[in-house]
A and B are shown apart, each in its own frame.
Chain A
Amino acid sequence: MKNVIEVKNLTKEYKQLRAVDDLSFEVHEGEILGLLGPNGSGKSTTINCILSLLDFSRGSIRILGSEMQPDAYGIKKEIGVVFQDVAVFEELNVYDNMDYFCGLYIKDKATRRKYIEEAIRLAGLEDFKRFFPKQLSGGLLRRLNIACGIAHKPKLIFLDEPTVAVDPQSRNNILDGIKALRDQGATIVYTTHYMEEVEILCDRVIILDKGRIIASGTNDELKQLARIEEKVSVETQRLSGKYIEEIKAFPNVESVDYSNGLLLIIYKKGKNNLTELMDYLKKEDIPYNRIYSERPTLNDVFLELTGKELRD
Chain B
Amino acid sequence: MFIHNFKYTLRILFKNKALIFWTFAFPIILGTFFSMAFSDIEKNETLDIIEIAVVDNEAFQNNIIFKEAFKALSDKENEERLFHTRYVKEEEAKELLEQGQIAGYLLLEDTPKVVVAESGIDGTILKQAAEEILQSGEIMKNTGGFGILEGGASIADISDSHLSYTMIEFYTLIAMTCLYGGILGMYAINQNLPDMGSKGKRVAVSPVAKGKLVFGSILASYVVQLIGMALLFAYTVFVLKVDYGDRLLLIILLAMAGCLAGLTLGVAVAAVFKADDNLKTGIIISVTMLGCFLSGMMGITMKYIIDKNVPLINKLNPASMITDGFYSLYYYDTLERFYFDIASLLIFAFIMTGISMLRLRRQKYDSI
Binding site for B on A (CB under 8 A): 14, 48, 51-55, 70-71, 73-74, 76-77, 79, 81, 83-92, 96, 100-101, 103-105, 107, 148-149
- A76 adjacent to B206 (CB under 8 Å): yes
- B15 adjacent to A91 (CB under 8 Å): yes
Complex CA distance for A149 and B4, rounded to whole angstroms? 17
Residue in B5, B205, B207 whose beta carbon sits within 8 Å of that of A53 in the complex:
B205
B257 to chain A minimum Cβ distance, whole angstroms, is 29
- B206 adjacent to A101 (CB under 8 Å): yes
Complex CA distance for A100 and B8, rounded to whole angstroms? 7
Asked if A48 meets B197 with Cβ closer than 8 Å, knowing A89-B12, A103-B4, A148-B202, the reply is no
Residues of B within 8 A of A92 (CB): 8, 11-12, 15
A225 to chain B minimum Cβ distance, whole angstroms, is 33
Against A, the Cβ 8 Å flags (1 = close, 0 = not) of B19-31 are 0000000000000
Most buried by B among A52, A73, A74, A100: A100
6 A-B residue contacts at CB 8 Å? A51-B205, A52-B364, A83-B198, A89-B12, A100-B4, A104-B4
Complex CA distance for A148 and B12, rounded to whole angstroms? 16
- B368 adjacent to A87 (CB under 8 Å): no
Residue in A48, A81, A90 whose beta carbon sits within 8 Å of that of B368 in the complex:
A48
- B206 adjacent to A71 (CB under 8 Å): no
- A104 adjacent to B1 (CB under 8 Å): yes
Residues of A within 8 A of B368 (CB): 48, 53-54
Residues of B within 8 A of A104 (CB): 1, 4-5, 203, 206-208
- Report if B178 contacts A (CB, 8 A): no
- CB nearest neighbor in A for B198: A87
- B363 adjacent to A91 (CB under 8 Å): no
Complex CA distance for A51 and B203, rounded to whole angstroms? 12
- Report if B194 contacts A (CB, 8 A): yes
Complex CA distance for A246 and B87, rounded to whole angstroms? 125
- A70 adjacent to B364 (CB under 8 Å): yes
- CB nearest neighbor in B for A85: B198
A91-B16, A104-B203, A107-B4 known; 20 other A-B pairs, CB under 8 Å?
A51-B201, A52-B205, A53-B365, A54-B364, A54-B366, A70-B363, A74-B207, A76-B205, A76-B207, A81-B201, A84-B198, A87-B197, A87-B198, A87-B199, A89-B12, A91-B15, A101-B202, A101-B206, A104-B206, A104-B208
Residues of B within 8 A of A96 (CB): 8, 11
Residues of B within 8 A of A88 (CB): 199
Residue in B202, B207, B366 whose beta carbon sits within 8 Å of that of A149 in the complex:
B202
- Contacting A at CB under 8 A, from B194-225, are 194, 197-199, 201-209
- CB nearest neighbor in B for A87: B198
Residues of A within 8 A of B366 (CB): 14, 54-55
- A105 adjacent to B206 (CB under 8 Å): yes
Complex CA distance for A74 and B266, rounded to whole angstroms? 32
Complex CA distance for A143 and B217, rounded to whole angstroms? 27
Residues of B within 8 A of A81 (CB): 201-202, 205
A53 to chain B minimum Cβ distance, whole angstroms, is 5
- CB nearest neighbor in A for B4: A103
- Report if B119 contacts A (CB, 8 A): no
- A53 adjacent to B199 (CB under 8 Å): no
Asked if A53 meets B206 with Cβ closer than 8 Å, knowing A104-B1, A104-B4, the reply is no
Residues of B within 8 A of A52 (CB): 205, 363-364
- Report if B367 contacts A (CB, 8 A): yes
Most buried by A among B11, B16, B364: B364
Complex CA distance for A55 and B367, rounded to whole angstroms? 8
Complex CA distance for A258 and B25, rounded to whole angstroms? 70
- B367 adjacent to A14 (CB under 8 Å): yes
Asked if A107 meets B1 with Cβ closer than 8 Å, knowing A71-B209, A81-B202, A81-B205, the reply is yes
Complex CA distance for A107 and B12, rounded to whole angstroms? 20
Complex CA distance for A87 and B368, rounded to whole angstroms? 15
- B207 adjacent to A105 (CB under 8 Å): yes
Complex CA distance for A88 and B198, rounded to whole angstroms? 8
Complex CA distance for A276 and B248, rounded to whole angstroms? 99
- CB nearest neighbor in B for A93: B15
Residue in A51, A54, A148 whose beta carbon sits within 8 Å of that of B367 in the complex:
A54
B17 to chain A minimum Cβ distance, whole angstroms, is 9
Complex CA distance for A70 and B1, rounded to whole angstroms? 18
- B364 adjacent to A53 (CB under 8 Å): yes
Residues of B within 8 A of A48 (CB): 201, 368
Residues of B within 8 A of A53 (CB): 194, 201, 204-205, 364-365, 368
Asked if A83 meets B365 with Cβ closer than 8 Å, knowing A73-B207, A92-B12, A92-B15, the reply is no
- Contacting A at CB under 8 A, from B1-55, are 1, 4-5, 8, 11-12, 15-16
- A91 adjacent to B202 (CB under 8 Å): no
Residues of A within 8 A of B16 (CB): 90-91
Most buried by A among B1, B8, B367: B8
A187 to chain B minimum Cβ distance, whole angstroms, is 16
Complex CA distance for A84 and B203, rounded to whole angstroms? 15
Residues of A within 8 A of B197 (CB): 85, 87
Complex CA distance for A76 and B208, rounded to whole angstroms? 9
- CB nearest neighbor in B for A44: B368
- CB nearest neighbor in B for A74: B207
Residue in B12, B194, B365, B367 whose beta carbon sits within 8 Å of that of A91 in the complex:
B12
Complex CA distance for A312 and B355, rounded to whole angstroms? 43
Complex CA distance for A101 and B199, rounded to whole angstroms? 10
